[in-house]
Amino acid sequence: MIDTDELAKRNAGFADGGSFANLKLMPSGSLTVIGCVDPRVDPSDVLGLKLGEAAMIRNVGGRVTPATLRTLEMLSKVVQARTGGPRPGDVHYAVLHHTDCGITDLAAFPELLADYFEAPAGDLDAKAVTDPVAAVRVDVEILKQKLPAGAFVSGLVYDVATGHIDVVVPPTRVEHDAARRLRPARPPWARGLYRELHSWPVVSTGRHFLACATTTGTRRPRRRGQRLAPRRDRLSTR
């Protein structure tokens, strides 16, 4: 067992080295790694990262869970508080999974995994917990849907037997359909009504545009100042 005396001794050696001096809160490599808690898969060692180059989020399996997304949201608020806005420049989020991961043993405990992923047990197959290659693709797709446009996302799988990583998903820039994201969703009950209202023709009488309702082929133009009361048989709230 490594006790606190040993930890203090090792920390003294670290402090004497001075590698911590003048480091900034923001990772100098503009990199965030989401990895597993497995002691064989420390991202700093596996990826050769220096102190201060990357932020690390580690959990069981290195999975992008709702808790992971909440952590990323909190980190984004820290960045805003420190810089007054989003992190400048390109930002890279790397998901690091690995072979022989202990999360595969949890497949026998679906209730536990359902709590972990905050998802119904029936949806666990989509999480691919027994296949690190498929799982890293799943998590990359989640990040692509949740991260702001312009960020880069990649997926890596580390082989604990060879020490090498496989780049399953090369760095991919997050892109969103801005118009679709900003367009407010209509409630289901209003969709039929929306279609009906936008199917009414618009006619012009001089300087004024008036709405008309079409019923059985007959147009009923609205007189100026008159409120149009559409017939019940022309409205739908499906």
The alpha helices in the chain, defined as continuous H runs, are 4-17, 43-46, 66-83, 110-117, 132-146, 178-182, 188-199
**How high is the pLDDT of residue 199?**
44
Residue in the block written with tokens 């693709």: 137
Q: Is the pLDDT of residue 149 over 60?
A: yes
**For 56-84, what is the mean pLDDT?**
95
**How high is the pLDDT of residue 176?**
76
**How high is the pLDDT of residue 226?**
55
Distance of CA 92 to the CA centre of its chain: 13
Integer Cα distance of 170 and 229 in angstroms: 58
Nearest CA-CA partner of 64 in 118, 3, 4, 10: 118
157 pairs with which residues across the strands? 97, 166
Strand pairing class (31-36; 54-59): parallel
Q: Is the pLDDT of residue 190 over 60?
A: no
**How high is the pLDDT of residue 85?**
78
**For 69-90, what is the mean pLDDT?**
88
**How high is the pLDDT of residue 221?**
53
The pTM for the full model equals 0.74
Q: Is the pLDDT of residue 204 over 50?
A: no
**For 33-45, what is the mean pLDDT?**
98
**How high is the pLDDT of residue 83?**
86
**For 61-73, what is the mean pLDDT?**
98
**For 7-32, what is the mean pLDDT?**
96
What's the pLDDT tens digit per position in 159-177?
A: 999 999 999 999 999 997 5
Task: State the chain's mean pLDDT as an integer.
Answer: 83
- How many CB atoms lie under 10 A from the CB of residue 30? 18
**For 209-220, what is the mean pLDDT?**
46
**How high is the pLDDT of residue 235?**
41
Integer Cα distance of 165 and 45 in angstroms: 12
**For 66-95, what is the mean pLDDT?**
91
**How high is the pLDDT of residue 185?**
45
Q: Is the pLDDT of residue 52 over 70?
A: yes
Spell 182-205 as b/e; 16+ CB within 10 A means b: eeeeeeeeeeeeeebeeeeeeeee
**How high is the pLDDT of residue 220?**
53
